[in-house]
Structures are given as structure tokens and as C-alpha cells.
A and B are shown apart, each in its own frame.
Chain A
Amino acid sequence: MAGDPRFEMQIDFAAKELTVKLVYYGPALSGKTSNLRAIHWLGTSNACGDLMTLETKNDRTLFFDMLPITVSSGSGLKVRLKLFTVPGQVMHNATRRLVLQGTDGVAFIADSQRSEADANRESFLNLKCNLEENAIDPERIPIIIQFNKRDMASIRTDEELELIAQRSREPIYKAVATRGYGVMQTLRGLIRDTWTKLEEDHELEEKFGISPIHFMTEVEAKLKHDPGPRGR
């Protein structure tokens, strides 16, 4: 599927508009929807659109959640970020694979509880497999990892995460998504890594005259509200 325009970032040169797809992946109940809810609640209303959730009556994601964020930069370039979650339950694998189609970056939301270590690993392997099925190279797509639920008992300690972060290829973030801590740092990290990759692949600075630093400054300005204490 490589080379198929459907599976690349959408660029509309005439409208000077970019559409970037970001997917929140992870095991069931790790807090993917909570991340989107928190972003929707913390983000400024002129950037964030309505949060669309497609869930069953007991709050389990059925297909996906979607949150559109629009960043209109000073250079006249309009960037539409579309944040998606996937359903975490094992049985919804086909839906996860569909949602993952054409993604530009992935935030993997892991559960910090020790008891969930296996579920995290399994879900990550599933992510790798589904990326490959969608002809996306897992080695090349930006992936960041968020250890969520830092407020729970029996979690991996900060020291452990420190060690994990040292040998991890993916940047590690910490969060309590239900209270909004760390979600914006995670999102900014994801946008930064994704933009860096898009810049490498598509030379956006040359085409649209917007440098990565400039773009991130715009994003920071648009998404400035965040009461969370520490991210990385």
C-alpha cells in the first residue's frame, strides 16, 4: 500500500491545509479515552472541536473516539490534527487495524499497574503487528509511550520508569489522565515527534515556510492550558 495517497498524510496545497492522524493505542481500560476527554477539557475551545465518542453503555470504546484539533499557523498553513483512540478489548482487533490505517503517529497508553504489565506487552505486540498489516513500518513511525494511572496503588515506581526510559527507544511520559496530569505533555510530545518525521519525509518547511520550532511554538500557544505538574 506504500505510495497509495490514502495512506499518507493528507496535503491540500491549494487550501494550504494539512491533515495529520494521531492514534492513541493501548490495552483495554488503560485510559485512551480519558486522555482525549482531558485534552478536550483542557484544550482551548478555538483549537479543539467536539469530542466524538462511539462507545457502549458501560463506557467501553466500541469503534473509536475522535477529537479534531485545528492549528492555524501564522504562515497561513492550517493543520488539522485528528486524534483517534482504538477499542482496547482483544476481540476488536479488526476495528483497531482499521483505525490504524494511514496513521502518522502513535501514543501508546500503558497502564502503570504491575498487574497490567502483560496486557501492555501484548497490546504493544498487537500494535506492531497491525502497523505491519497496514504497510506502516513500526521502526519508522513515531511512537511515544505514556505510563498512565500514576495515582494508583501497586504501580511501577518512578525509579523503575526512569530506568525503563533510559533504555527505551520511545520517549516515556507519565500521566494521570482522569485528572488531566501529563496528557498535554504527552500530546505535545507526540505532535513534536510526528512533525519532525513529517518534516523529514515531506520537507514542510520548504513547502509551507514553517519550521518545526515555529510550528511547535504555535501548538504550545494553542494548547497552553495544563495544570499537570510533571510530564517527562
Chain B
Amino acid sequence: MTLDQTNAADIMMGDVVRLEDVLSRDSVTSVCKSFFGLFGLPVRVISHEGDLLADVHRDQPLCNYLNTLGNGERECARTVGVVRDLEHDVQTIVHPCFTGAVYRIVPLEYQGRPIGRFIVGPYVPAETTQPPESLLSIDESIDAATACAHFDTMPRVREHVAEEISAHLKGVLELLLFSGHRAQLASTMQVASVRENYRELAEKNEALKSSFEELKKLDQLKSTFLATVSHELRSPLTSIIGYTEMLESGAAGALSNGQAEFLGTIRNKADQLLGLISSLLDLGRLEAKSLDLKHEPIDPHALLSDLAATIVPTANRRNVSLDIQIGDETPKLWGDPVRLSQILLNLADNAVKFSDEGGMVTIRAEQGEIDAAGASGLGAALFTASRPAVLLTVQDGGMGIAEHNLSKIFDAFYQVDAGTTRVHGGAGLGLSIVKQLVDGHGGKIEVTSTLGEGTIFSVTLPAADEDA
């Protein structure tokens, strides 16, 4: 049975069925042996193409004897040749031999087409009691007594019984053929279906891949657009801020109280706008991977005290107390001081913003480690052991974040409270930038939160080498 690229439709149409494709020689031979054992009749199975698939017989003494006689041997070979090459029809043929024996040739058909035949015999019809004249006169040297004695040992069966058992054998072989064909079709279809499914999946994957590439291009376009626009927005804004500062400093004459207040508001709002634009620019650069990060050792004490100085006024305004802790063994960090401050400021600012009046924000630095293997420790044996790191945590006692929102808070422009009645401001860029900056430092950021109890952001960043 071949299961190559053969067209499934061809096989299903049943036109390629050959006896030897669906029946093994061994199984046909074993059926024929059993037939021979039961009835003592020789049987041969021949395919439509003329291949002998099974041949079960015992040499007959009569045939052996005749083969020692010149004419006997010739006539015997001729008869066997005729029987083998007999033009097979849909009907059974009973072909006589000069010995008085007969050959019964039974055609095998499948789905209305000839597919082979089997030959039962030679046997002597039980109705024939005497050896015919054609046997006794086959050769002048024949010994009639020997021939008669051998004739009597030939297998014998009544013609109607031979007909019945041949019909039975035909039924068995055709059943085998049907089952074999069924199995062949099933396996062919199995393979063809798998191939067809694979082809379909491969096509779909290809389509997905190209739409993914398309999306990636669009995303790139968006980042470039953001970066360009932010840059273009910043230039005029710098002028606005500069001239506002000049006016405030009295460069254009003294100001009334009202004018000074208004200018203060203008400058405040312009600063906010500049902050937003800077964030957009950062995000654009981060996404385009074009933000250069410096790498230098940073003292955690200096980092946190700078942070505290910056955040205290805001915290005071909201009546939120700050608790800053630095563990004894905390190593120096390795990274860009400006960007690390930006990370911490963003997280601390959020924590203050989302704390209740009178609440507390805890900022902690301690020794940590970054596992070089995956989170599950998969393949840990193949990786270097964990690297020294600094764990920075920012904890608030605010409203907390629902679990289904946790996975989205690092997406750009995402706001947990995106309604129009938002209590808290911001463009939703802070955490996205924080995440990108942390990634850019080879660190990781995690968040845990309990609704109503507060949120903890944990940032693990690589530590500087000991001798740094």
C-alpha cells in the first residue's frame, strides 16, 4: 500500500484497487491453506495483472508419473498454460484436462470490475469413475495399470459441491478485499485529511503573519509620529515658558499682583504640558529603542534622598506621610541616574496621588536578586546563578487595583478609571514609560494589589559590581 502524494480523489474512486494493494500474499495463502486442509482441493489465486498471489497444492502422483512421459509432460504443460491464460469472464469456467480431472476458474470482481481469479483443481469430478481414453492413450509407453492406480488417488468432489465451496471461497476473498479496501481508503483519507488541514493552517498562518507585519509597521509609524509631533510641540512651548519667565522676572516692566498670578498659572500649565510632551517623546524613543541609557554606579541613599526632596511638597499638600527605608546591605545600582529617578518619581507620585488623605507611602530599597533563569526555574542548570540586584518597592494604602486591570496598567495611554468623570489626572503614560525604562535596564517590575488595601510596585534592578 502506498501513501504518497497520490490524489485522494483517485483512490476514493476505487480505480486503483489492485488485489496485491489490498490483500497481503500471506493472508491469501493462509486462507487457501485452510481451504486445502478442509477440502483437499488445490487452489491458486492470480491477480488481474497475472501475478500469482497464492499457490497451495500437493504434487499429484498421476501428474508426476505423466511428467516422466514425453507426450504426457507436453500435454500437461499445455493444459496448465491454457488454464492460467484463459480469458476470464464474469462467469465461472470449468476447464477439462486430458486426465479426466478439471480446473475450476472463478473470477473475482470488485465494484463491477474484474480484479483477479482463483483456480481450484486439478480434481476429478466424483461423477467420473473411470479414467478417460484421452489419459490412457496420451503416450505409447504409458502403463495403464499405473495410470489407473494414480487416477484413483486424485482428489475427488461432486461438481455441485465444488461449485458451493468455490462460491464460499469467492465470498471469503471478496470480503477480505472489501475490508482491505476499506482500511486502505481510511488510511489514505486520514493522511490526505491531515495534509489538507496542514495546508489550510499554513495558509492561515501566512495570512496572520502578514497582518502581524502590517500591524508592526503601523505601530512603528505611530511611534515615529509621536516622536516627531512631541518634538515639534516642544520647541514653541520652550519659547512660551522662556518668555513667561522673562515677564515674571520683570524684564518687560513691573507686574501687578493680578498679572503675576496669571503668569504663574500660565507657567504652571506650560510646565505640565512640557512634562506630558517629554513623556511622549520618551515613549517614542523607548519604543523605537533609540533612547540611550547611561550606565554608572548609583548610591541608593543619594537616589532616595533626592526622591524624597522632590516628592515631599506634593505629599505634604495631600497630607500623606512618607516612610523611606534603606536596607543595610543594599548595594549600589547600575544604570542611568536620571532615568532611575524618573522611574521612582513616577511610582512615588502615583502612590501619593492614589493615597487617601492622611495615608502613608513607604519607599524601600534593599538587597535583591534577579533570577537568570525563567520565573519557574526552568532550565536553571544551564544558566548562571542569580545576579545581585537592588529591590525597590513603593507601597501605598490607597484604593488598590482590581486583578483584571493589573495586566493592562503598563500599556501606554491606559487608565484604570478612563471615564469622563476622572478624579485623577494624567495621560496614562507614566507606568508605560516606567516599564520600558526598567526593561531597558535589564530589570523587572511587578505589581501586587488588594482592592481597598493598597498597591505595591516592586522594581528589581541590577546592582553595580562590588568594586564599582
Check if A and B associate: yes
- Contact count band on B: 20 to 34
Which applies to chain B's interface (DSSP): helix, strand, loop or mixed?
Answer: helix
Is there contact, CB below 8 Å, between A19 and B13? yes
B148 at the interface (CB under 8 A from A): no
A49 to B111 CA separation, bound complex (whole angstroms): 6
B14 at the interface (CB under 8 A from A): yes
Is there contact, CB below 8 Å, between B14 and A94? no
Q: Which residues of chain A have C-beta atoms less than 8 A from B182's C-beta? A: 52, 54
Q: Could you give, for residues 140-170 of chain B, a 1 whenever the CB lies within 8 Å of some chain A CB and a 0 otherwise?
A: 0000000000000000000000000000000
Is there contact, CB below 8 Å, between B112 and A64? no
* CB-nearest residue of chain B to A52: B182
Is there contact, CB below 8 Å, between B112 and A63? no
Is there contact, CB below 8 Å, between B196 and A94? yes
B286 at the interface (CB under 8 A from A): no
Q: Which residues of chain B have C-beta atoms less than 8 A from A52's C-beta? A: 178, 181-182, 185
Is there contact, CB below 8 Å, between A64 and B12? yes
Q: Which residues 87-115 of A have a CB within 8 angstroms of B?
A: 92-95, 97-99, 101-102
In the assembled complex, the CB of A212 is this many whole angstroms from the nearest CB of chain B, namely 22
Is there contact, CB below 8 Å, between B178 and A50? yes
Q: Which residues of chain A have C-beta atoms less than 8 A from B200's C-beta? A: 93-94
B186 at the interface (CB under 8 A from A): yes
Is there contact, CB below 8 Å, between B13 and A82? yes
Q: Which residues of chain B have C-beta atoms less than 8 A from A64's C-beta? A: 12, 189
Q: Which residues of chain B have C-beta atoms less than 8 A from A80's C-beta? A: 111-112
Q: Which residues of chain A have C-beta atoms less than 8 A from B13's C-beta? A: 10, 19, 21, 82, 102
Q: Which residues 1-51 of A have a CB within 8 angstroms of B?
A: 6-7, 10, 19, 21, 49-50
Is there contact, CB below 8 Å, between B112 and A98? no
Most buried by B among A21, A63, A64, A93: A63
A68 at the interface (CB under 8 A from B): yes
A19 to B13 CA separation, bound complex (whole angstroms): 8
Q: Which residues 174-214 of A have a CB within 8 angstroms of B?
A: none
- The listed residue (B9, B10, B111, B185) touching A68 by CB distance below 8 A is B111
- The listed residue (B9, B12, B193) touching A94 by CB distance below 8 A is B193
B8 at the interface (CB under 8 A from A): yes
A73 at the interface (CB under 8 A from B): no
* CB-nearest residue of chain B to A7: B9
- The listed residue (B7, B9, B111, B189) touching A54 by CB distance below 8 A is B189
Is there contact, CB below 8 Å, between B192 and A98? yes
A147 at the interface (CB under 8 A from B): no
Is there contact, CB below 8 Å, between B112 and A78? yes
A78 to B113 CA separation, bound complex (whole angstroms): 10
* CB-nearest residue of chain B to A49: B111
Most buried by A among B7, B111, B178: B111
Q: Which residues 5-36 of B have a CB within 8 angstroms of A?
A: 7-10, 12-15
In the assembled complex, the CB of A207 is this many whole angstroms from the nearest CB of chain B, namely 20
A215 at the interface (CB under 8 A from B): no
B386 at the interface (CB under 8 A from A): no
A173 at the interface (CB under 8 A from B): no
The verdict on A63 contacting B186 (CB below 8 Å), with A52-B178, A70-B112, A97-B196 known, is yes
Most buried by B among A10, A84, A94, A102: A94
Q: Which residues of chain B have C-beta atoms less than 8 A from A7's C-beta? A: 9
Q: Which residues of chain A have C-beta atoms less than 8 A from B64's C-beta? A: none
The verdict on A63 contacting B185 (CB below 8 Å), with A6-B7, A52-B178, A101-B9 known, is yes
Is there contact, CB below 8 Å, between A68 and B14? yes
Q: Which residues of chain B have C-beta atoms less than 8 A from A223's C-beta? A: none
Most buried by B among A68, A92, A98: A98
- Contact count band on A: 20 to 34
In the assembled complex, the CB of A230 is this many whole angstroms from the nearest CB of chain B, namely 32
A63 to B190 CA separation, bound complex (whole angstroms): 8
Is there contact, CB below 8 Å, between A98 and B196? yes
A92 to B190 CA separation, bound complex (whole angstroms): 11
Is there contact, CB below 8 Å, between A98 and B193? yes
Q: Which residues 258-299 of B have a CB within 8 angstroms of A?
A: none
Is there contact, CB below 8 Å, between A19 and B185? no
Is there contact, CB below 8 Å, between A54 and B186? yes
Q: Which residues of chain A have C-beta atoms less than 8 A from B189's C-beta? A: 54, 63-64, 95, 98
Q: Which residues of chain B have C-beta atoms less than 8 A from A62's C-beta? A: 186
In the assembled complex, the CB of B432 is this many whole angstroms from the nearest CB of chain A, namely 41
A32 to B310 CA separation, bound complex (whole angstroms): 78
Is there contact, CB below 8 Å, between B112 and A101? no
Is there contact, CB below 8 Å, between B10 and A6? yes
A92 to B182 CA separation, bound complex (whole angstroms): 19
* CB-nearest residue of chain B to A6: B7
In the assembled complex, the CB of B146 is this many whole angstroms from the nearest CB of chain A, namely 49
A143 at the interface (CB under 8 A from B): no
Q: Which residues of chain B have C-beta atoms less than 8 A from A78's C-beta? A: 112
In the assembled complex, the CB of B201 is this many whole angstroms from the nearest CB of chain A, namely 10
Q: Which residues of chain B have C-beta atoms less than 8 A from A99's C-beta? A: 12
B325 at the interface (CB under 8 A from A): no
In the assembled complex, the CB of B73 is this many whole angstroms from the nearest CB of chain A, namely 39
Is there contact, CB below 8 Å, between B9 and A98? yes
Q: Which residues 98-139 of B have a CB within 8 angstroms of A?
A: 111-112
Q: Could you give, for residues 45-84 of chain A, a 1 whenever the CB lies within 8 Å of some chain B CB and a 0 otherwise?
A: 0000110101000000011101010100000001010101
Q: Which residues of chain B have C-beta atoms less than 8 A from A70's C-beta? A: 111-112
A219 to B178 CA separation, bound complex (whole angstroms): 25
Q: Which residues of chain A have C-beta atoms less than 8 A from B8's C-beta? A: 98, 101
B197 at the interface (CB under 8 A from A): yes
Most buried by A among B189, B190, B197: B189
Q: Which residues of chain A have C-beta atoms less than 8 A from B181's C-beta? A: 52
Instruction: A66-B14, A68-B112 given; name 4 further pairs at CB < 8 Å.
Output: A7-B9, A10-B13, A19-B15, A102-B13
Residues of B at the A interface (CB closer than 8 Å) are: 7-10, 12-15, 111-112, 178, 181-182, 185-186, 189-190, 192-193, 196-197, 200
- Give me 12 A-to-B residue pairs in the complex whose CB atoms sit less than 8 angstroms apart, sorted by A's number: A6-B9, A54-B189, A64-B12, A66-B12, A66-B14, A68-B14, A70-B112, A82-B14, A94-B193, A94-B200, A98-B196, A101-B8
Q: Please provide the 6 A-B residue pairs with the shortest distance between their CB atoms, ordered closest to farther.
A: A94-B196, A101-B9, A70-B112, A63-B189, A68-B111, A94-B197
